[in-house]
């Protein structure tokens, strides 16, 4: 015979719900008010996010992945592992390196120190602060190779500023890590350039000392001028001697004109000898010391030009390596910058009230179901006596100090 719904468990449960509907409504109202008040006392947080990318990472990584899959299909079983190895190209290594740097302890500690998060988190050690910080900060790497950097903070401005600083600090850390041959070559070139610059300065100082000691500022030009000057003096001397020889037959050696011409010849002769030997007041060195000076000058000039050529070559190579390093080094480029959000991420008061109210409603229904099922077991003629006896024994075990009923005596 079909069981009547009125005497079934579901019918009794529905009747109990209808009988206690007012109490359920009051309970839900109290829970809604309590959850609303509790939500008002919670500290507010805002979330900011930025989308970044490693330049060249998407196309290269997807191309390598496709090539690796094709290689894995074409190669025999013994060599199928080579296809998976192709996925670990420079781009994959760069993306993994960037992810490790963004989530590194160094970047997190710089953020914590800059914004004084140790005091806000109320933690005793940096390790505890890092655990709390990583609960609020997150870095997600999408399958397409995009980095999503998010941060939850107690103000809109701080959330956006921390995200931007995480990206900036990560790029600074990446710039100090040696990850490519171009960077290693650049560091070596900087050391060589520093040594070449020091050597060039030594050669320049030696040239300056030589010019100060000898007076040869422009040796070739000064040599030509010295030769022209000596030629002019020799021409003047020959003319003066010819004139003196001409007047010697007609004039006395004691005459004024003869003495004047003789003095001119003596002066020109002494000037030529002084220019040939070099005097202290002349800007032109003597001709007898000029070959040795030019030889020393040429050695110093060759040394100086050699070091200058090496310095210029290393400097040009360094600039080329810097360009290659900037092109090949992994960096984070911002696609969508972090901006202060308009809506807070926590607490969502409306959702909290609805969630806790719904939870209270379902718990009340569950409690009524438990009570209804218990009453049904106790009222049933087949199971009631057993469960009542179990409850009586349990009560006597849990509360042994209760007064015994009158008329009961302990057997002697």
Which has the closest alpha carbon to 52: 333, 319, 303?
333
Give me the pLDDT at residue 91, please: 58
Residue-wise pLDDT for 347-366, tens only, equals 888 899 999 999 999 999 99
Distances (CA, A) of 298 to 175, 211, 212, 305: 45, 12, 16, 10
- 127 pLDDT higher than 50: yes
Task: Please tell me the distance from the alpha carbon of residue 377 to that of residue 379, in angstroms, as a whole number.
Answer: 6
Locate tokens 């449960």: which residue? Answer: 13
pTM of the model: 0.53
Task: Please tell me the distance from the alpha carbon of residue 51 to that of residue 48, in angstroms, as a whole number.
Answer: 11
Give me the pLDDT at residue 308, please: 92
Comparing 360 with 280, the larger pLDDT belongs to: 360
Q: What is the dihedral of CA 347, 350, 353, 356, to 10 degrees?
A: -80
Comparing 85 with 58, the larger pLDDT belongs to: 58
Task: Please tell me the distance from the alpha carbon of residue 412 to that of residue 403, in angstroms, as a whole number.
Answer: 19
pLDDT bucket at 34, cuts 50 / 70 / 90:
very high
Q: Which of 49-63, 92-106, 261-275 has the highest mean pLDDT?
A: 92-106
Residue 334: partners with Cβ closer than 8 Å, 6 or more residues away: 50, 51, 52, 167
Residue-wise pLDDT for 298-345, tens only, equals 888 899 999 999 999 999 988 888 887 777 677 888 888 888 888 888
Give me the pLDDT at residue 109, please: 93
Average pLDDT score over the chain: 78
Residue-wise pLDDT for 227-244, tens only, equals 666 677 678 777 777 777
């Amino acid at each position: 015979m079909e069981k009547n719904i009125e005497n079934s468990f579901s019918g009794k449960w529905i009747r109990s719900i209808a009988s206690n509907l007012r109490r359920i409504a009051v309970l839900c109202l109290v829970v809604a008010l309590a959850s609303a008040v509790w939500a008002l006392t919670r500290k507010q947080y805002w979330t900011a996010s930025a989308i970044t990318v490693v330049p060249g990472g998407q196309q290269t990584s997807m191309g390598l992945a496709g090539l690796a899959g094709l290689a894995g299909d074409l190669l025999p079983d013994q060599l199928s592992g080579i296809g998976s190895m192709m996925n670990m190209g420079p781009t994959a290594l760069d993306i993994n390196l960037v992810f490790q740097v963004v989530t590194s302890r160094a970047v997190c500690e710089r953020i914590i120190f800059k914004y004084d998060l140790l005091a806000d988190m109320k933690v005793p050690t940096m390790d505890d602060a890092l655990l709390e910080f990583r609960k609020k900060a997150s870095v997600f790497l999408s399958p397409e190779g995009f980095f999503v950097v998010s941060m939850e903070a107690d103000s809109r401005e701080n959330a956006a500023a921390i995200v931007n600083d995480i990206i900036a600090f990560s790029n600074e850390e990446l710039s100090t890590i040696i990850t490519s041959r171009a960077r290693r070559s650049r560091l070596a070139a900087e050391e060589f350039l520093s040594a070449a610059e020091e050597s060039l300065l030594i050669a320049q100082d030696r040239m300056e000392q030589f010019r100060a000691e000898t007076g040869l500022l422009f040796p070739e030009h000064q040599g030509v001028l010295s030769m022209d000057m000596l030629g002019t003096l020799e021409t003047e001397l020959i003319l003066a001697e010819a004139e003196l020889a001409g007047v010697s037959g007609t004039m006395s050696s004691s005459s004024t004109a003869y003495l004047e011409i003789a003095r001119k010849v003596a002066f020109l002769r002494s000037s030529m000898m002084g220019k040939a030997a070099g005097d202290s007041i002349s800007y032109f060195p003597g001709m007898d010391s000029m070959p040795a000076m030019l030889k020393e000058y040429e050695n110093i000039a060759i040394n100086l030009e050699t070091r200058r050529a090496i310095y210029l070559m290393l400097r040009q190579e360094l600039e080329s390596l810097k360009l290659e390093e900037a092109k090949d080094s992994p960096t984070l480029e911002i696609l969508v910058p972090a901006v202060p959000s308009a809506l807070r991420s926590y607490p969502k008061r409306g959702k909290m009230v609805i969630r806790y109210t719904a939870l209270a409603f379902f718990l009340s229904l569950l409690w009524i179901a438990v009570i209804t099922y218990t009453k049904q077991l106790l009222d049933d003629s087949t199971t009631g006596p057993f469960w009542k006896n179990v409850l009586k024994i349990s009560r006597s075990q849990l509360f042994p100090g209760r007064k015994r009923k009158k008329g009961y005596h302990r057997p002697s």
